[in-house]
């Protein structure tokens, strides 16, 4: 899809994800900000999913071993992760499920819902828009956008699809805080610019391209093809078809030039 061109916000190209090691920041006992590693932030979201299930089951206490196993990590890593947010269980008992859930939610900024705008309701976008799990986790889809006349005016999950030229107005009216880009690569940057101009500072990008955004705008990129390629690597490694080091089979490594060659080149 393409969108109507308007005045683009001034931006400088920055990486679309945080540098390695960066994450959220929590306050210590003295009120000073303590960084939470990005990998820990990702695992906190997994812990929260497990904790929510335990709450639904009526559980009141969970051991670090059980919580770690359900989240797919070891208990030592779990305890270290939770120490970043000031959570410590009771030795021999474990963690109070409701309290730990509240602490993780507060750290992840989930104490209030985040209105989501999704741009591009083709095959992938339509599936995302119709997924009820977002609203259940505090991310209700508040706005849908596209430029296809066949889609504009239709409804998905009770939300009407609006023309993409209305992004600034609709996002402002509905208090959108998170934007989702599910357009073809050629339209993604323009869509991103419109979202930023509308005041959206958090963007989830499904388009197969890197977005340039101003400082202060957070972009998370989800590239399903890249994830498949990573899985392909692991499949190949299990079958022994990935060389441990050196050139790929069938190729010849370049030889270093002799001193005479190096001078005459």
Q: Binding site membership for NAD(+): which residues?
A: 120-125
Any residues with CB less than 8 A from the CB of 133 and at least 6 apart, and which?
A: none
Closest CA to 211 of 182, 232, 233, 247: 182
Tokens of 28: 């210590």
Report the distance separating Cα 97 and Cα 74, nearest Å. Answer: 18
Cα separations (Å) of 259 from 93, 125, 253, 256, 263?
70, 59, 19, 9, 6
| Torsion, CA 17, CA 18, CA 20, CA 25, rounded to 10 | -150
**CA-CA distance, 245 to 243, in Å (whole number)?**
5
CA pair distance 250, 191, nearest whole angstrom: 45
Q: What are the contacts of 63-68 at 24+ separation with CB within 8 A?
A: 63/89, 63/93, 63/94, 63/95, 64/89, 64/94, 64/95, 66/94, 67/94, 67/95
Q: Dmax of the chain from CA atoms? A: 78
Residue 43 CA to residue 24 CA, distance in Å, equals: 12
The residue to which tokens 């979202």 are assigned: 195
Residues in binding site: 120-125
Could you tell me if 118 and 94 are in contact, meaning their C-beta atoms sit under 8 angstroms apart? no
């Amino acid at each position: 899809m393409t969108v109507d061109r308007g005045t683009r916000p001034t931006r400088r190209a920055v990486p679309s994800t945080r540098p390695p090691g960066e994450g959220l920041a929590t306050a210590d006992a003295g009120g000073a900000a303590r960084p939470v590693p990005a990998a820990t932030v990702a695992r906190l979201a997994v812990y929260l999913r497990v904790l929510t299930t335990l709450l639904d089951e009526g559980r009141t206490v969970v051991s670090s071993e059980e919580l770690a196993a359900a989240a797919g990590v070891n208990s030592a890593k779990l305890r270290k992760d939770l120490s970043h947010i000031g959570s410590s269980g009771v030795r021999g008992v474990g963690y109070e499920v409701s309290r730990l859930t509240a602490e993780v939610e507060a750290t992840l900024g989930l104490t209030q819902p985040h209105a989501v705008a999704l741009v591009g309701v083709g095959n992938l976008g339509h599936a995302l828009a119709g997924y009820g799990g977002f609203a259940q986790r505090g991310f209700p889809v508040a706005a849908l956008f596209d430029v296809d006349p066949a889609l504009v005016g239709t409804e998905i999950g009770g939300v009407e699809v609006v023309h993409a030229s209305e992004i600034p107005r609709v996002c402002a009216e509905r208090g959108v805080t998170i934007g989702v880009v599910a357009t073809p690569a050629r339209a993604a940057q323009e869509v991103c610019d419109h979202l930023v101009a509308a005041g959206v500072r958090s963007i989830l990008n499904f388009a197969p391209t890197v977005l340039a955004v101003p400082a202060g705008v957070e972009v998370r990129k989800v590239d399903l093809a890249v994830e498949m390629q990573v899985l392909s690597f692991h499949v190949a490694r299990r079958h022994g078809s990935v060389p441990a080091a050196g050139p790929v089979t069938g190729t010849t490594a370049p030889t270093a030039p002799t001193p005479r060659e190096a001078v005459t080149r």
